[in-house]
Structure 1
């Protein structure tokens, strides 16, 4: 009888996996969510291009900035929760999603100026920013150069220097994201056949920017949390800790059991962290 029970247990584990394995959510890339119905959406004329945006809910403004190759839809889970308490704004970065681009090379300063121009278009003097990856870097750029426009910053999965980026070539999750982003680009972009060129141009930015020193980070006085995932495929932990150590008064948060796509893999945990930050960290 004990042997029969052991065999049955082995069969169950082979069929469903061990509890530890099934809990490895950082190895999965859940589907891209949809955005809920917006109170307002459209295209803003910004720096000679058209930036797509959408606005949800009411209250203090919170701007969500997505990562490289992605689009605003990736924030669908967070928008649904945050819109109950805040005026939530999402946008597609230049050349991403539904937004257009021009011949200017991609750069974080330029993309930060797009964000500020959209805020001007919407009549928003100051907002809290929640950024993921490139969106977090854009948030840090704004915090350095235009602190009067940002009340607080939740910077998830940023890097301060190209040397802080890990090799993601062998990451199944990251490669699945790049492939998915290509399909989404074909569906959403005004230039649907140019994904390869788009990736090549973004890669040049990643390879050369940003280059922030300790002194640059020390110039940030906006209330900031430097956040990353314990299984981030793309960002080296030492660079996350370096940024947190040199942004004055910054909080450091490492989210457990997730990767660079934390907000998809454990949206409740990610959103709870954002809400805690927005509700309990005093604004600038």
Structure 2
């Protein structure tokens, strides 16, 4: 999605200046939250790392590209008092493995369904960030009976929805560098980050590529959400998504970027809970 040029991003992140505005910051990745249960699920030909927190109506949190499920720490604590919160590392990310199949949103959506089957979860709401938001929309397109509400933050439905040169943005470059260190610390293939980035960048260059008709077929309640200073997603594309998906809501979070859930978790969580619970 981001069309990352990894080597360029690393050079730029090394010389990045101190951020002056909230949307230019990259707060630390939250510390892992103790789970009620966790494990490695052997599903869809790979091993998926997952955690389950709390009890109640199921909500699955899907992280962005290059990241891992630890990024959702502040959202887990907000949701767990009233929900069964399921977090997972997407294939090839974090502690999850990958196989020889090319990365693709359909495949990663199928991974989510396979994990749901293993956990005995028939239907769940989805909160997705970036690639996770795209996977949420993919689920709404291809697995309509398995999803409830979709809170899609910083997602795109066409490759043209991504800004050119996003990897040159200092905040985004710092994120790419951080993701590399986190990959090395968590992955079963810690020296494979460059190959991982190359493979997932190929997906970002080609996917998603959904038609208006496909988006118009979505039946799930959807909020399309983004920060008003998103480094990666074009505002006009965010507005297009909300206008094309039937009855979708549009929410632009102020003074925040592609990393709003880290930059202002209280604001992000209020919006998330309002959508999921009507509160």
State whether TM-score is above 0.5.
yes
Q: Does 2:159 align with 1:162?
A: yes
Structure 1: runs of 5+ lacking an equivalent: 1-20
Question: Structure 1 residue 224 and structure 2 residue 226: aligned?
Answer: no
1:3 matched to which residue of 2? none
Structure 2 residue corresponding to 1:233, chosen from 231, 252, 256: 231
Q: Higher RCO, 1 or 2 (CA under 8 Å, sep at least 6)?
A: 2
TM-score, L = length of structure 2: 0.92
Give the SS at the match of 2:40: strand
Residue in structure 1 matching 2:66, options 64, 69, 76? 69
Question: Are positions 1:198 and 2:196 aligned together?
Answer: yes
> In 1, distance between residues paired with 2:115 and 2:20?
40
- 5+ residue gaps, structure 2, are 1-17
- Report the Cα distance in structure 2 between the residues aligned to 1:222 and 1:34, rounded to whole angstroms: 32
Say if 2:127 is the partner of 1:130.
yes
Q: Which residue of 1 aligns with 2:175?
A: 177
CA distance in 2, matches of 1:61, 1:23: 38
SS at the partner of 1:174?
A: helix
Q: 2:98 pairs with 96, 101, 108, which one?
A: 101
Structure 1 residue ranges (4+ consecutive) displaced by more than 3 angstroms after TM superposition: none
Residues 273 and 45 (structure 1), Cα distance of their counterparts in 2 relative to 1, 3 Å cut: same
SS of structure 1 residue aligned to 2:223? strand
1:40 aligns with 2:37: yes
Q: Is the 8 A contact 1:58 1:83 kept in 2?
A: yes
Q: Tell me, in whole angstroms, the C-alpha distance in 1 between the residues paired with 2:210 and 2:236.
A: 15
TM-score using structure 1 length:
0.90
- Alignment check: 8 A CA contact 1:35 1:79 kept: no
Q: Matched residues in 2 for 1:34 and 1:42: separation?
A: 18
* Structure ID, larger Rg: 1
**For residue 15 of structure 1, what is the aligned residue in structure 2?**
none
* RMSD between superposed Cα atoms in Å: 1.2
Q: 2:185 aligns with which of 155, 175, 187?
A: 187
1:241-280 alignment to 2 at 5 Å?
A: 241-280=239-278
Which secondary structure does the structure 2 equivalent of 1:169 belong to?
A: helix
Secondary structure (helix, strand or coil) at the match of 1:226 reads strand
Are 2:19 and 2:25, in contact at CA under 8 Å, matched by a contact in 1? no
How many residues are paired up?
Answer: 261
